[in-house]
Amino acid sequence: MEKTVFKPKIPIEKQVLTTANGDEAVAYAVKQSYVDVVAAYPITPQTIIVEKYSEFVNDGLVHTEFIPVESEHSAMSACVGAAAAGARAFTATSSQGLALMVEIVYIASALRLPIVMAVVNRALSAPINIHNDHSDAYLMRDSGWIQLFVENVQETYDTTIQAFKIAEDPRVQLPVAVNLDGFFLSHTLENFYMLPDDTVYEFLGGPRKLVNVKVDYFSEEVPLVLNPARPLTFGSLDLYDYYFEHKVQQVEAMKNVPPVVREINEEWYKLTGRRYGDGVVDAYGVEDADIVIVAMGSGAGTIRSVVKKLREKGEKIGLLKIRMFRPFPYSDIAEILSGAKIVAVMDKAIGPGSFGALYEDIAVSLYDLDERPLLLDYIYGLGGRDLPPSLVYRMIEEVKKDLESKSVERKIRYLGVRE
Amino acid sequence: MTVQTLPEFPVKKGEPAYKVWIFEPGWKGEIPLNFNLRQLAEQKRPVLLPGHRLCAGCTAPLVVKLASFALRGPTIFVNATGCLEVASTIFPYTSWAAPWIHVAFENAAAVAGGVESAIKALKKTGRLPYDHVDVIVFAGDGGTFDIGFQALSGMAERGHDVLYILYDNEAYMNTGIQRSGGTPQFASTTTSPAGEVIPGKTQAKKPIADIMVAHRIPYVATATPAHWMDFMKKVRRGLEVNGPAFIHALSDCNRGWRHETDISVEIMRRAVDTCYFPLWEWTPEQGYMLTDRSLAIARNPALKQPIEKYIEVQGRFRHLLKPENKELLKQFQEYVDKVWEDLLRRASNAPK
C-alpha cells in the first residue's frame, strides 16, 4: 500500500515564524480572531497581553473596543454585557484578579455567553507571590467554564484561536479559559508559527454568529442576544421551581464539549499540521507503560523530555498530559490508565486539608476499574518553584520504589520542598 | 375609561418591539400642548408591562415607566440586583418589553459599559441593525451608593454613553430594610433601629448626585416620579447627551418608610416641598440649575415647608416627633436648610 504524505492546508512554509512570549502570543491570537470587545485590568504576569493589545487598538490594527476597566470584577462584567449584546469578547487575568472576578465568572457561564479569557496562572495570596502555580485555575474549577491548559507558546497561540471556535459552537455556548503558566510561558520567548490573518478569520467563520432560541412568546426562533426587535430578558430571578433545571442544562451543555474540542483539534491539524493529542488529553508513551505521570501546563513539557530519555533507555514510562481540565475526561482517562501499574499525579496547587484537585479527578476516573493502579499525588512548583529535570528523575526513582514494594505509604508528597 | 391598546407582537422585522416613546426622535424640548398624565397612561405603552410583582404603592415601576416614555429609539436596559429586578423577572415570566439584562448587585454600570462598547464595535463593522441603541441602567441605592459605586465611578470616568438612573428608596429594601449609604440621618432601619440610646442612623446621607457632578460627566439631575414631566424631560436630556448621564430619582418604599400605600407620590412631593430633596440638573456648561417645584421655592421662599411635613407621614421617622427628641428634629431641619442654602448659592438660576 502506498503511503501518502499528509499535507496541511496551510503548510509550515506559508506560516510566519515569529518569536514572542506566551502573553504576546495570546495578544496576536486575539488580534487575528476579530474580537469586538476587550476589557481588562492589569495584573502581573498577565499585563503584557493587554499592553500588546492596546498597541494594536491604538495603532488602528483592530476594530476592537478596548475597555480599560477599574477592576477585574468590572472586566468580567463588561465582557458579560458585551457578549450578551452580541459581541465577541475577550479578557485576561491572573491570580487575585481572577479571585476578584470569580462571582461574575460563574454568571458568565450560567448565562451561556461564549467569552474567552486567558488565565495566566499565578499563586493566590497570602503570602503574596507573583509566580506560577495552578491555585487560581482550581479556584474557578466548578464555575462551569471550559478550562484548557497549554504547554508551550505555540500551543498558547493555537489554543487561544481554537477557544473562540469552541465557545461559540452552537452545541457548546460556554465560556473558555485558556490557562498558561505565569512566567514559565507568559514571559518566556519561544519561536512559534503564526497563521495568516485571513486564514484565522476563515477558520473562525468570520465575526461571532449568534445562536437562535425558542421562546414561547415569539412565533419564531429568535437570536439569543439583547435585541430591541426581539427583546429577551437575561439573568432573571430563578426560584426553586427552575434553578435546578437550568443548572442541569449547563451540565448537559458541558457534555457536548469533548467532541467539539476533538473536532476542532482535528480541523486545526488539517489546517496547520499541528494537533495536541486528541485535543482533550495528550498521551505520550502510555500504551505499554507501567509508570504513568499525569500533569498539566508547562510542567508537562519538562516531564515529556525526561520521559522521552527514559523511554530511549527502554524504561516503561509514559506521560499523560491533561489539556482539557474542565469538563474532565473521566472515561478517556480510565481507558488510558487501565494498563498502568502506578500513576503519579502532578498537582501544582493544593487545598489544605485535601488532595490536589487533579489527583481527586484521576482517582474518580480510576475508581470503577476492576484492577486499579497505585495512585499518588505529587504537589510541586507552588509559588513558582522550579521543576528541573533532575527533580523529575528523583520523583521517578521514588515511584519505582513504590512500584517494587507494591504499596504507597505517603499519598501526598511534596516535590522540591525543604523539610 | 378607554381600554389601553397594546401593540401586537411580533412587530415588523428590524423594528423595536416597544415603539412607545412620546417624544419622537428629533424632539427638541417642546412639550406637546394637549398632553396630560392620564393620556400618557392610556395611550402609551411603557417598557415595564403589567403583571410585575412589586409591592402596591412602590414607586420603582413609576420611575421605569416614566423613563421609558422618554425613550428616543431602540434601548437596552441593564438592571442591578434589587427589588425591581427580582419582582419583574421571576422566571419564566418577565415584565420587560425591552432587551434587559441583570448580572449582579454591584456591576450594573460595568455591564452597561460592556453593552455600550459592543454596540460601538458592531456599528463600526456594519453589523448593528440600528443607527443607534441607547443604554439605560436602573439601580437602587445599595447598588449605587455602596457596593456598586466603584463600577459607577469607573464607568463615568471612562465616558461610556450610558444613562444611569438611580431609584433611591434610601435603604436595602430588597433584603428587608437595612441601612445603606443613601439612608438619611435619624431614619430607623433594621440595622439602624431607633433604640433607647441611638436614635436611628447616626450618619448623614451620601451626596451621590454631587459626587457624580464632581466626575464632570455631561449630565446629572435629581428627580422624583411625582414631578413626572420634569422627570421625563431629564431622562430625555440624559439620553441625548454624548457620554455618561446620571439621574438620582427619589423612590418611595412604603414597606421601609412605614406608611400607607396610597400616599407614596404625595410623600415624594413633600420631599421636594420641604427641600429635603431639591430638584435640579447640572451640566458642565450651565452648572447647577433648579427645576420645577424647587425653582418655584427658590423664587418664593414662603412655599418652603418645614421638615415635619415630610417626616410626619413616615413611620421610620416617628421617634423624631417625640417631645424628648426635639433637639434631633432641630438638627435635621438645620441640616436640610444648610444643604438647600448651599444649593441656592451654586444654582445659576436661583434669585440672588
Residue A409 is given by DSSP the state S
**Which residues of chain B are within 8 Å of residue A208 when distances are taken between CB atoms?**
none
Q: How far is CA A183 from CA A274, A385, B236, in A?
A: 24, 11, 51
What per-residue confidence (pLDDT) applies to A208? 96
Tens of pLDDT, residues A291-305: 999 999 999 999 999
Among residues A119, A162, A50, the alpha carbon closest in space to that of A296 is found at: A119
Is B74 in Cβ contact with A77 (below 8 Å)? no
Q: What percent of chain B has a predicted confidence (pLDDT) above 90?
A: 78
Q: Give ipTM to 2 decimals.
A: 0.94
Nearest Cβ partner for B120 among A65, A78, A236? A65
Check residue A134 and report its DSSP letter: S
* pLDDT on residue B42: 67
What is residue A1's predicted lDDT score, i.e. its pLDDT? 57
Q: Is A80 on the interface with B (CB under 8 A)?
A: yes
pLDDT, tens only, B211-237: 999 999 999 999 999 999 899 889 989
* Residue % of chain B over a pLDDT of 70: 89
Q: For B89, which of A69, A70, A236 is closest by C-beta distance?
A: A236
- Chain A residue numbers with beta carbons less than 8 Å from the beta carbon of B122 are 36, 85-87
Phi-psi region of B177 (alpha: psi -120 to 50; beta: other; left: phi over 0): left
Q: Which residues of B touch A90 (CB under 8 A)?
A: none
Instruction: Write A246-254 long-range contacts (CB < 8 A, 24+).
Output: A246/A110, A247/A110, A250/A109, A250/A110, A250/A112, A250/A144, A250/A174, A253/A112, A253/A171, A253/A172, A253/A173, A253/A174, A254/A144, A254/A146, A254/A174, A254/A326, A254/A327
**Whole-angstrom Cα distance, residue A119 to residue A179?**
5
The answer to whether the CB atoms of B151 and A74 lie below 8 A apart is: yes
State chain A's mean pLDDT as an integer: 95
- Sheet containing strand B100-102, edge to edge, reads A233-234, B100-102, B75-79, B134-140, B163-168, B245-250, B219-223, B280-283, B287-290
State yes or no: pLDDT of B9 exceeds 50: no
Q: Could you give the angle at which helices A257-272 and A197-204 cross, rounded to 10 degrees?
A: 150
Q: What is the pLDDT of residues B180-211, one digit of tens each?
A: 999 999 999 999 999 999 999 999 999 999 99
Residues 152-211 of A with CB under 8 A from B: 207
Q: Which chain A residues contact residue B102 at CB under 8 A? A: 234-236
* Cis amide bond preceding A327, omega within 30: yes
Q: Is A68 on the interface with B (CB under 8 A)?
A: yes
pLDDT at B3: 45
Higher local confidence (pLDDT), B37 or A153: A153
Q: Do A82 and B114 touch (CB under 8 A)?
A: yes
CA-angle at A264, arms to A263 and A269, nearest 5° = 100
The number of C-beta contacts closer than 8 angstroms across A and B is 184
Among candidate residues A95, A117, A221, the one with its CA nearest the CA of residue A166:
A117
| Burial of residue A71, with CB atoms counted within 10 A of its CB: 0-12 exposed, 13-18 middle, 19 or more buried | middle
Search chain B and give the residue with CA nearest A246.
Answer: B91
Is the predicted pLDDT of residue B25 greater than 60, yes or no? no
Give the pLDDT confidence of A112-130 residue by residue, as tens digits.
999 999 999 999 999 999 9
Q: Are the beta carbons of B76 and A67 separated by less than 8 Å?
A: no
pLDDT at B8: 42
More confident residue, B352 or B242: B242
Q: For chain A, give percent helix, strand, coil, nearest 5.
A: 40, 20, 40
> Do residue A87 and residue B17 have CB atoms under 8 angstroms apart?
no
Distance from CA of A329 to the nearest CA of B (A): 30
Task: For residue B286, count other CB atoms closer than 10 A to its CB.
Answer: 11
Sort residue A31 into left (φ over 0), alpha (ψ -120 to 50) or beta: alpha
Residue that has been written with the C-alpha cell 459592543 in this structure:
B118
Number of C-beta neighbours around residue A3 at 10 A: 5
**What pLDDT score does A229 carry?**
81
**What's the pLDDT tens digit per position in A57-82?**
999 999 999 999 999 999 999 999 99
**Helices A72-84 + B149-158 axis angle, to 10:** 70
A168-186 mean pLDDT:
97
Kindly determine whether residue B104 and residue A74, on different chains, have CB atoms separated by under 8 Å: no
A151 in reach of chain B (CB within 8 A): no
Rounded to an integer, the average pLDDT of A309-324 is: 96
SS3 at position A413: strand
Q: Report whether pLDDT(B29) > 70.
A: no
Kindly state the cell numbers that stand for A55.
Answer: 498597541
Please judge whether A229 and B89 are an interchain contact, meaning their C-beta atoms are less than 8 angstroms apart: no
Whether the CA torsion A44, A49, A55, A58 is positive or negative: it is negative
Print the SS3 string covering A25-67: HHHHHHHHCCCCEEECCCCCCCHHHHHHHHHHHHCCCCCCEEE
* Cβ within 8 Å of B, A 352-381: none
Pick from A40, A45, A39, A43: nearest CA to A22: A45
Distance from the A215 Cα atom to the nearest Cα atom in chain B, whole angstroms? 10
B152: chain A residues, CB-CB within 8 Å: none
Cell readout for A51 is 499592553
- Could you give the dihedral angle defined by the CA atoms of residues B25, B244, B293 and B58, in that order, rounded to the nearest 10 degrees? 90
User: A217: number of CA atoms within 13 Å, CB side?
Assistant: 16
B16, pLDDT greater than 60: no
C-alpha distances in angstroms, A411 versus A68, A345, A359, A381, A407? Answer: 46, 10, 10, 18, 10
Q: Which residues of A fall within a CB distance of 8 Å from B94?
A: 233, 236
Among the listed residues A201, A269, A148, the one whose alpha carbon sits nearest the alpha carbon of residue A29: A201
A91 touches chain B (CB under 8 A): no
Q: Does residue A207 carry a pLDDT above 70?
A: yes
Is A228 in contact with B118 (Cβ distance < 8 A)?
A: no
- Alpha-carbon gap, residue B101 to A197, rounded angstroms: 34
Length in residues, chain A:
419
Query: Which residues of B are less than 8 Å from A36 in CB distance?
Result: 117-118, 121-122, 125
* Contact in structure between A261 and A173 (CB atoms under 8 Å): no
**Confidence category of residue A218, pLDDT binned at 50, 70, 90:** confident
Q: How distant, in Å, are the alpha carbons of A300, A315, A391, A398 from that of A394?
A: 16, 15, 5, 6
Closest CA to A93 of A109, A107, A104: A104
Task: Tell which of A38, A103, A234 to mutate to test the B interface (max B CBs under 10 Å).
Answer: A234
Dihedral sign from CA coordinates of A256, A259, A265, A271: negative
Looking at the complex, does the CB of residue A227 fall below 8 Å from at least one CB of chain B?
yes
Q: State percent of chain A over pLDDT 70.
A: 99
Report how far apart, in Å, the C-alpha atoms of B44 and of each of B41, B52, B233 are: 6, 18, 16
**Residue B80, min C-alpha distance to chain A (Å):** 10
Q: Please report residues of A whose CB lies closer than 8 A to that of B86.
A: 237
**Closest partner residue to A69 among B94, B99, B154, by Cβ?**
B154
pLDDT, position A418: 87
pLDDT at position B43 is: 64
In this structure, are strands A37-39 and A89-93 parallel, antiparallel, or unpaired? parallel
Query: pLDDT, tens digit, for every residue of B286-336?
Result: 999 999 999 999 999 999 999 999 999 999 999 999 999 999 999 999 999
**A63: closest chain B residue by CA:** B121
Tell if the CB–CB gap between B103 and A242 is shorter than 8 Å. Answer: no
Nearest by CB: B110 against A69, A87, A233: A69
pLDDT at A245 over 90: yes
Please give the pLDDT value at position B1: 41
Cβ distance B122 to A84 less than 8 Å, yes or no, reads no
Q: In three state form, how does the secondary structure of chain B look?
A: CCCCCCCCCCCCCCCCCCCCCCCCCCCCCCCCCCCCHHHHHHHCCCCECCCCCCCCCCCHHHHHHHHHHCCCCCEEEEECCCHHHHHHCECCCCCECCCEEECCCCCHHHHHHHHHHHHHHHHHCCCCCCCCCEEEEEEECHHHHHCCHHHHHHHHHHCCCCEEEEEECCCECCCCCECCCCCCCCCCCCCCCECCCCECCCCCCCCHHHHHHHCCCCEEEEECCCCHHHHHHHHHHHHHCCCCEEEEEECCCHHHHCCCHHHHHHHHHHHHHCCCCCCEEEECCCEEEECHHHHHHHHCHHHCCCCHHHHCCCHHHHHHHCHHHHHHHHHHHHHHHHHHHHHHHHCCCCCC
> Does A84 contact B at CB distance below 8 Å?
yes
Higher pLDDT, B34 or A338: A338
Between helices A95-110 and A243-255, what is the axis angle to 10°? 100
pLDDT of A224 > 70? The answer is yes
Q: Does A230 touch chain B (CB under 8 A)?
A: yes
Confidence grade of residue B352 (pLDDT, cut at 50, 70, 90): confident
The tens digit of pLDDT for each residue in B115-163 reads 999 999 999 999 998 888 999 999 999 999 999 999 999 999 999 999 9
pLDDT of residue B4: 39
Min Cα distance A71 → chain B (Å) is 8
Show residues of chain A in contact with B54, CB under 8 Å.
none
- In whole angstroms, what is the distance from residue A324 CA to residue A214 CA? 31
Contact B74 A71 (CB under 8 A): no
Using DSSP's 3-state secondary structure scheme, residue A120 falls into strand
